[in-house]
Amino acid sequence: MFKRILRIFIILLILLVLGVVVGGIVWFNYFRDGMIKQYFATMKPPAATVSTTIAKPANWTPGVEAIGTVRAVRGVDLTVEVSGIVKEIPFHANEKVASNAVLLQLDDAVERADLEAQKAQAALDQVSLTRAIELTKRGVGSDSTLDSARAAASASASQVTRLQAVLDQKQLTAPFAGTVGIPKIDLGQYLSPGTSVVTLQDLDTMRVDFSVPEQQLPLLKIGQTVRLGLGGGDMPFAGAIRGIDPKIDPSSRLVNIRAEVANPDGKLTPGQFVQVRVELPEEQNVLSLPQTALTTSLYGDYIFVVQPAKPAGAAPAQAEKPADAKPADAKPAADATKPADPKPSDPTPADAKPADAKPADAAKPAEADKPALVLSQVFVKPGRRNQGMVEIVEGLKAGEEVVTAGQNRLFNGMTVNVDNTIDPTKSANKQADQQ
């Protein structure tokens, strides 16, 4: 009987121990999961580093931007008028030539011979005309003989002029001063009429043809300043509008515009694509931001504004007052200890060190108590764009600090650190030169 009771007691004890162990394991799992959830719920992501700028009203120079094609004011592909064999090419590629300079000479031996023969005939006819006039004055010659001599002399002179023109066609001359290109013919080559020989371009002044939408046509007029650039944002060339097509293309709804730009250094080349900007009158007090500050989404355009974190509430403010009161209570205690020191020499240096250390220790919490910076997502309405800047029409106030770089994975209410050592509106090379 006693053994049976002992067995039952042992079994119950084992079951109790197993229950405690199993319960402890279950409780530990629940406790661990709860602590993990609480940790992730209260965990704050690390502060992101961003660059910012202060929104300020500034002068705004609006403009009409387009892509244009450069052409020379005077440019032509020279061709020959008559057939012949190339005898001489008196120019080199990329050579500057004067007006009426000879660029090509064809074989003209036959034409020269014909011209000399005709000149001799013209001289004979002129002598015959002079003799007929003299005889008529003497009353010996007839009027019909004089008329025949005069007609023969006139025909001979006209024939000389014609042959001289044919001879001149054997030479190709420059119609204006400019720069010649690569010759397209060789010595001894037979050329037929219309064969292209070389291109001649006057590179001192360039023409730029571009198109703008019909909505922007009222903004343009003859004489407006036009700036050109080859890329990279810089527009070093300046010119003016010289022509506006009075007709709008009905298929594209674009208007053709022509401008002229001086090209003294020869950096612009015919056929080149350039960035064109027609400058409009300057406007004042316009809020603008770098285009890198604006983010576009399906819900609209927005920016991130950096603001100090709001205080937790009144409780922390009340907690600060006792903290301020403690040093005040500690000062009398320190004063009370001074009469108790019989020797001012030994304790004074010891007391001086903590006195000097206390303000230093008190300054550290003052720096640590600076409010953190958090983000506020603000939806805005953008306007015009100009040279890397975008106009903000609605949603932005002057004086607000806006994130310009580092927007990746930012969200509303996130803590950030501001680092303005890098300006996203400037290229990396320019920033390296400034540093």
| Rounded mean pLDDT, 365-379 | 71
CA dist 81 and 65 (Å) reads 43
Instruction: Kindly report, residue by residue over 70-121, the tens digit of the pLDDT.
Output: 999 999 999 999 999 999 999 999 999 999 999 999 999 998 999 999 999 9
pLDDT computed for residue 426 by the predictor: 61
- Shared-domain flag, residues 118 and 209: no
Decide the pairing of beta strands 283-290 and 178-180: unpaired
Report the chain's mean pLDDT, rounded to a whole number.
Answer: 81
Residue 328 tokens read as 């005040």
| Rounded mean pLDDT, 407-423 | 81
- 3-state SS, the chain, equals CHHHHHHHHHHHHHHHHHHHHHHHHHHHHHHHHHHHHHHHHHCCCCCEEEEEEECCEEEECCEEEEEEEEEEEEEEEEECCCCEEEEECCCCCCCEECCCCEEEEECCHHHHHHHHHHHHHHHHHHHHHHHHHHHHHHCCCCHHHHHHHHHHHHHHHHHHHHHHHHHHCCEEECCCCEEECCCCCCCCCEECCCCEEEEEEEEEEEEEEEEEEHHHHHHCCCCCEEEEECECCECCEEEEEEEECCCCCCCCCEEEEEEEEECCCCCCCCCCEEEEEEECCCEEEEEEEEHHHCEEECCEEEEEEEEECCCCCHHHHHHHHHHHHHHHHHHHHHHHHCCCCCCCCCHHHHHHHHHHHHHHHHHHHHHHCCCCEEEEEEECEEEEEECCEEEEEECCCCCCEEEEECCCCCCCCCEEEECCCCCCCCCHHHHHHHC
pLDDT computed for residue 248 by the predictor: 93
CA dist 105 and 91 (Å) reads 11
- Shared-domain flag, residues 149 and 214: no
385: domain CATH number is 2.40.420.20
- Shared-domain flag, residues 292 and 269: no
Residue type, 400: E
Whether residue 303 is contained in a domain is answered as yes
Sequence-separated (6 or more) residues with CB below 8 Å from residue 268 = 70, 203, 206, 228, 237, 261, 274
* Percent share of the chain, pLDDT over 90: 41
Whether residue 331 is contained in a domain is answered as no
pLDDT computed for residue 326 by the predictor: 42
Residue 330 has pLDDT above 50, yes or no: no
pLDDT computed for residue 316 by the predictor: 40
pLDDT computed for residue 425 by the predictor: 59
pLDDT computed for residue 239 by the predictor: 92
- Shared-domain flag, residues 210 and 264: yes
* Percent share of the chain, pLDDT over 70: 81
Residue 318 has pLDDT above 70, yes or no: no
Whether residue 178 is contained in a domain is answered as no
How many domains does the chain contain in total?
A: 3
254: domain CATH number is 2.40.30.170
Q: Which residue has the higher pLDDT, 49 or 314?
A: 49
| Rounded mean pLDDT, 384-400 | 88
The strand pairing partners of 226, in sequence order, are 239, 278
CA dist 208 and 199 (Å) reads 19
Instruction: Kindly report, residue by residue over 158-206, the tens digit of the pLDDT.
Output: 999 999 999 999 999 999 999 999 999 999 999 999 999 999 999 999 9
**What number of residues does the chain have?**
435
Whether residue 53 is contained in a domain is answered as yes
Whether residue 12 is contained in a domain is answered as no
Whether residue 213 is contained in a domain is answered as yes
Angle of CA points 381, 383, 389, to nearest 5°: 110
- Shared-domain flag, residues 256 and 299: no
Q: Which residue has the higher pLDDT, 123 or 357?
A: 123
pLDDT computed for residue 171 by the predictor: 92
Whether residue 153 is contained in a domain is answered as yes
- Shared-domain flag, residues 386 and 419: yes
| Rounded mean pLDDT, 355-373 | 51
Residue 403 has pLDDT above 80, yes or no: yes
Instruction: Kindly report, residue by residue over 248-297, the tens digit of the pLDDT.
Output: 999 999 999 999 999 888 889 999 999 999 988 888 888 999 988 999 88
pLDDT computed for residue 13 by the predictor: 84
Residue type, 353: K
CA dist 220 and 246 (Å) reads 12
Residue 394 has pLDDT above 60, yes or no: yes
| Rounded mean pLDDT, 44-60 | 85
Instruction: Kindly report, residue by residue over 212-241, the tens digit of the pLDDT.
Output: 999 999 999 999 999 998 876 678 889 999
- Shared-domain flag, residues 301 and 395: yes
Residue 429 tokens read as 């090379």
Structural domain range at position 158: 108-169
Angle of CA points 381, 383, 385, to nearest 5°: 135
Whether residue 257 is contained in a domain is answered as yes
Please measure the distance between the N-terminal and C-terminal CA atoms of the chain and give it in whole angstroms: 97
